Amino acid sequence: MKGSTHRRCYCRDVHTGKPLGKKCPQLSSRKHGSYSIRQELPPREDGTRRSFSRAGYDTLKAAQADLDHVRALLGLADTDDPEGLALIAAMLEEIGDEKAPLPDVEETRRRLNAGQDLVGSLTVAEWLDRWLAGKRIRKSGISRYETDIRVHLKPHIGHRRLDRLRVSHLNDMFTAITDANAEILEQNVQRRAAVDELAAIPWKGAEHRARRKALKVAIDAMPPFRRVTGPATRQHVKATLRAALNDAIGQQIITFNPAAHVELDPVRKPKALVWTNERVAKWEQTGEKPSPVMVWTPAQTGAFLDFVAEDRLYAMWHLIAFRGLRRGEACGQPWSETNLDTHSLTVSSQLVQDGWAVETSEPKTDSGFRVIALDDDTVNVLKEHRERQDADREEWGTAWVETGMVFTQEDGTWLHPSKVTDLFERLVAASGLPPIRLHDLRHGAATLMLAAGIDVKIVSDTLGHSDTRITRDIYQSVLPHVGKNAAEATAKLVPLQRKAEATEARKAAKKAASKAKAEARTKKKGKRKKGEK
């Protein structure tokens, strides 16, 4: 196919204003004007001609180099490959119209052989939609990915071309999220101040009513209370993008994953703390929790279980407190996997939320499938619970819904996990005990097992962890007396001279004090005898 370079200028006739073209007297100078290229392309499907044209080259050498580049791209497809020729022609036509840079020959060859888009105009938003549609995971995972994409990724980088996404673009995105957090916090403070001011205004009096009305209008005009995007959420947004881009690399759409090179502030997971007497006293004074994750002492756990002994779901609170089931696992535990004769239950399903809807699902990981041993007391509690459930079944008659679950609503239907959490929080508040979350009962179960000297591997298996390090790092909240015993045992292992000297000094002081007391008694006794004489 024909191709050529030529030189032209943009000079015009001073009288007519028409381009001079080849009649320009200055064209004889090589420094005047610029070079252009034109390459004939394979015709369109309807037979019409098309070509690649580009102008503005300062030198003939530069123009010839681009013309050779265009010809090399056309040469990637064999003459007996009309489909390949059509794809390359369409690519060059689009590049010419957009005045975009010519693509690398080898990269284009790879894309052509892999059956990918040659132009690379796929945007981040388009790829994320395609990636999410192809995911085959549980609905809760899809929902979390969809939230990250909808709330953060699409608004910030969705418009960018996928093959041109850079680390700097992601840094800008997370900087914008941080800036938005500061704005949200400031707006929340302003709205809270206005709400508090409104609550303090008396209802009676025309002046007060006018002030309340004006303040309500101002509050309605303010942004609503919003949550900030914390470090954990930012890390999850990064993980979502990284997973999507890794799949794009796997499909040879891109060759670089910028999300793998973005540095974010590390997420510091809150450490579980035990409700000691000192912490309880401070909480009673200030209402503040020392940590988001708090664990009851054995005595506090016992006090709570005694308080809820007559609650319809007592067996659930008991099971979570002693065996550490997750909320969804407890709600989704079937009787068919609960063998009270062998003192064991098998965790093989759970109830999860998709928005507000509830569905049954398998455990999230392989380690979630596990057999949990039950103690005699827990077995008796579950037997009593089964008898109570049988009585409910008879009372409801044909209206009873047979789900086969151990823990259900009064009519046998599934428990809603969020409602279970709300009920637990109300019971804790009514008990007067320091507050913990429902999931903290699981922390407490792990702490109790570790404090009882149970091997960490058994504790890890009971909780359904894939690695004992997770158990140690997250759940090993040392109870005060356990820590004291460990400290004393450690101190006794090290012989210190000052300890021996101090011990001898105490013995000598004690001996001297005893001798002085004896002498004093003897002297006093002698004086009494002398007085009697």
Q: Report the percent of the chain where pLDDT is more than 90.
A: 55
pLDDT at position 529 is 59
CATH number given to 124-260 = 1.10.150.130
d(CA 353, CA 281): 37
User: Model confidence over 433-466: pLDDT tens digits?
Assistant: 999 999 999 888 888 888 888 888 888 888 888 7
| pLDDT per residue as tens digits for the range 20-56 | 777 787 777 777 878 899 999 999 888 899 999 999 8
pLDDT tens, position by position, 132-179: 999 887 777 888 899 999 999 999 999 998 988 999 999 999 999 999
Statement: residue 477 has pLDDT above 70: no
Q: What confidence tier does 483 reach under pLDDT thresholds 50, 70, 90?
A: low
Q: In terms of pLDDT, which residue wins out, 528 or 331? A: 331
Most confident of 138-152, 252-266, 415-429: 415-429
Second CATH level (architecture) for the domain 273-479: Orthogonal Bundle (1.10)
Higher pLDDT, 17 or 342: 342
Structure confidence at residue 525 as a pLDDT band (50, 70, 90)? low
Specify whether the backbone of 355 is left (phi greater than 0), alpha (psi in -120 to 50) or beta. left
- Would you place residue 490 in the very low, low, confident or very high pLDDT band (cuts 50, 70, 90)? low
- The reported pLDDT for the residue numbered 39 is 94
Which residue type sits at 127?
W
pLDDT > 70: what percent of the chain?
91
Model pLDDT, residue 45: 86
Q: What span, in angstroms and rounded, lies between the C-alpha atoms of 293 and 439?
A: 9
Q: CB of 350 within 8 A of CB of 363?
A: yes
Average pLDDT score over residue span 6-31: 78
pLDDT score for 99? 87
CA–CA separation, 111 vs 133, rounded Å? 23
Q: Is the pLDDT of residue 475 over 80?
A: no
Whole-angstrom distance, CA of residue 296 vs CA of residue 287: 16
Q: Give yes or no for a contact between 265 and 405, defined as CB atoms under 8 angstroms apart.
A: no
How far apart are the C-alpha atoms of 429 and 388, rounded to whole Å? 26
Residues 50-104: tens digit of each pLDDT: 999 999 898 889 999 999 999 999 999 887 888 889 889 988 998 888 888 898 8
Q: What is the mean pLDDT of residues 196-206?
A: 91
Neighbours of 193 (CB within 10 A): 10
DSSP character for 354? E
- 474 CA to centre of own chain: 16
pTM: 0.64
Query: With DSSP H G I counted as helix, E B as strand and the rest as coil, what are the percentages for the chain, rounded to 5?
Result: 60, 10, 30
| pLDDT given for residue 465 in this prediction | 82
pLDDT at 115 over 90: no
